[in-house]
Structure 1
Amino acid sequence: MKNRIWFITGISSGLGKALAEGVMANGDFVIGTFRKKSQVEEFNHKFATTAYSILLDISEEKSIEENIKKVITKFGRIDVLVNNAGMGFVGAIEETSLKEVRTVFEANFFGTLKLTQTVLPFMRKENKGHIIQISSHGGIKAFAGFGIYNASKFALEGFSEALAQEVAPLGIKVSIVEPGPFRTKFAGDGLGLAENIIDDYSETAGAFRTKLKGVDGKQEGDPIKASKAIIDLIKSEKSTLRLPLGKVALMTIELKINSVRADIEANKSIAESVVFNQ
């Protein structure tokens, strides 16, 4: 299919920006979201014929509904939805307040869920569409100091895996993208930090916080190459549910698979022993 219409959240920087630029270069049309009015105006002036942007905070449910309705009225359809907008957050579980947890989940889970739910009726009407959920290798394996972020991405992966099964008979595809560390603002200005610091976690969550800040600008991942991989995924007739991106992501996911397999083997006889005798 040529000239797809992509709806991509969070295109101001990083992977979202690289993907929007790659999609336009590929000849498709981009509808992107920003959180600042000045960014919207600048983008729409620069890309008047190849793209369109809107002001959207995905943590605002009413705004999602209103904006999607306007987009459908103006453009008629959305062929590809990319839920890219979100936030990183570092802090031990005990260090993190419920207010901070809710902020992370509003951005990484509830906003994505609401946007997905809002777009789905229009995709069902067309009997086609592709939903790309930008998760993380941290959506498969958790790290000390990253637990709340991990939880939000685990939740994203959970509903997306179920959704893929629900919409497959309707002609709609779902893919979960799992990047490792990429050279974006994720570990810099875009990283949230728990306000409360507990010294007892200095060697676990504290060490992770220091490590993450230390790799900012040095990550292995190239956002431009990642955007090409996502565009190729959309073009493929045999797209997979999951798309890991980066060597670190592959290593992380393999570690998780091996850990789960080891636990299963260690407890197999116990698991089999708790059922009713036939």
Structure 2
Amino acid sequence: MNNVWFITGSSRGLGRSLTEAVLASGGQVAATARNPEQLAPLVAQYGSQILPLALDVNNSTQIKEAVAAAVARFGRLDVVVNNAGFGITGAAEAYTEEQVRTQLETNLYAPIAMTRAVLPYLRKQRSGRILQISSIGGRVGSAGITIYQAAKFGLSGFTEALAKEVAPLGIYVTSVEPGGFRTDWAGASMSYAPTLEGYDLVNSRAEFFASGKFVPMGDPDKAAQVMLALVEHPAPPVHLVLGSEAVAFLKHADATRQAEFEQWLPVSVSTDHDEAENFLETELGKTYIKK
């Protein structure tokens, strides 16, 4: 199907691979970037299939204007991809206030704002797909990228709740959670906190990223093809992990969490009021956890 896509951060990295794949498949794309001139080769090749739009995802006015322009041009939106973002590495206490703020604004607040801007259109259509480009770092914590992961954990959680909220409207939402992919995430898009003494693991990770020796396993062109197929699936997942590296990390993290949960389960349930039943054994509890 020749869907109409709205893709943020489409000028490079995974966003660029996805934009090219959609256009090559015959789809139409409202492609946003801070510098839409970078999309000129795609305009030259695909003409009216692509609508390049200047967009700073931290500007709420520009978000609304870009969404309205896309709908005015193509008449609808079928797939919205919140892809724009960047990474940052360092110890939690070392980040500047500006680094913390911009990280949360770009990687969490912006996709929420974009999602809220497109939902009125998708709700009226009673259809649509939203892909939130999160990260395996939104499911598994790692030293050195705490603020980045705070944003991504937030985005993955927002997606999981939103998917339940909008399913009755015919809207599907998926948190796409890649491991390392061969984009410029650890290169030109990576920023760093000041180095602090004592954080040897964090500092070595930052040095490794900055050295240019980090070679991720993931192929962004393959990820783009997966997402093309994903939006046609009648029952898409709420969480989609991409890459064997990410799969390995999540399996280990889930096993560790489960073991910890079971160890502390007696303490967890001990805080119920003496007059309360065990929620998990009540009909309300059995019904609630299925929703």
TM value normalised by structure 1? 0.95
Give 1:265 shift.
1.1
Moved more, 66-75 or 179-188: 66-75
How far apart, in 2, do the equivalents of 1:192 and 1:273 lie? 45
How far apart, in 1, do the equivalents of 2:258 and 2:34 lie? 43
- 1:270 equivalent in alignment to 2:267: yes
Which residue matches 2:258? 261
How far apart, in 2, do the equivalents of 1:206 and 1:178 lie? 25
How far apart, in 2, do the equivalents of 1:181 and 1:14 lie? 12
1:66-105, CA deviations, whole angstroms, 9 ceiling, x for partnerless residues?
Answer: 1111221222111000001101010110001221111111
Q: For the Cα contact (< 8 Å) 1:91–1:145, is it kept in 2?
A: yes
**Structure 1 residue identity aligned to 2:243:** G
List runs of 5+ in structure 2 lacking aligned partners.
276-291
Instruction: Specify the SS of the correspondent of 1:200.
Output: coil
**Counterparts of 1:131-170 in structure 2 under 5 Å?**
131-170=130-169
Give 1:25 shift.
1.8
Which residue matches 1:197? 195
How far apart, in 1, do the equivalents of 2:134 and 2:93 lie? 24
How far apart, in 1, do the equivalents of 2:265 and 2:109 lie? 36
**Structure 1 residue identity aligned to 2:201:** T
Give 1:214 shift.
4.7
Which residue matches 1:230? 227
Instruction: Specify the SS of the correspondent of 2:88.
Output: strand
**Structure 1 residue identity aligned to 2:168:** P
How far apart, in 1, do the equivalents of 2:78 and 2:192 lie? 36
Q: For the Cα contact (< 8 Å) 1:64–1:115, is it kept in 2?
A: yes
Count of aligned positions: 275
TM value normalised by structure 2? 0.91
**Counterparts of 1:207-218 in structure 2 under 5 Å?**
207-214=204-211, 218=215
**Structure 1 residue identity aligned to 2:124:** K
In 2 relative to 1, CA 40–25 (structure 1 residues): closer, same or farther, beyond 3 Å?
A: closer
Instruction: Specify the SS of the correspondent of 1:173.
Output: strand
1:153-187, CA deviations, whole angstroms, 9 ceiling, x for partnerless residues?
Answer: 01111111111010000000000100000000000
Q: For the Cα contact (< 8 Å) 1:40–1:55, is it kept in 2?
A: no
How far apart, in 2, do the equivalents of 1:137 and 1:274 lie? 32
- 1:252 equivalent in alignment to 2:271: no
How far apart, in 2, do the equivalents of 1:54 and 1:31 lie? 7
**Structure 2 residue identity aligned to 1:49:** S
Which residue matches 1:91? 90
Give 1:277 shift.
2.3
Seq. identity, %: 37
Q: For the Cα contact (< 8 Å) 1:65–1:118, is it kept in 2?
A: yes
- 1:115 equivalent in alignment to 2:137: no
Instruction: Specify the SS of the correspondent of 1:204.
Output: helix
Give 1:261 shift.
0.4
**Counterparts of 1:33-44 in structure 2 under 5 Å?**
33-44=32-43
**Counterparts of 1:13-28 in structure 2 under 5 Å?**
13-28=12-27
List runs of 5+ in structure 1 lacking aligned partners.
none
Give 1:51 shift.
1.6
Which residue matches 2:29? 30
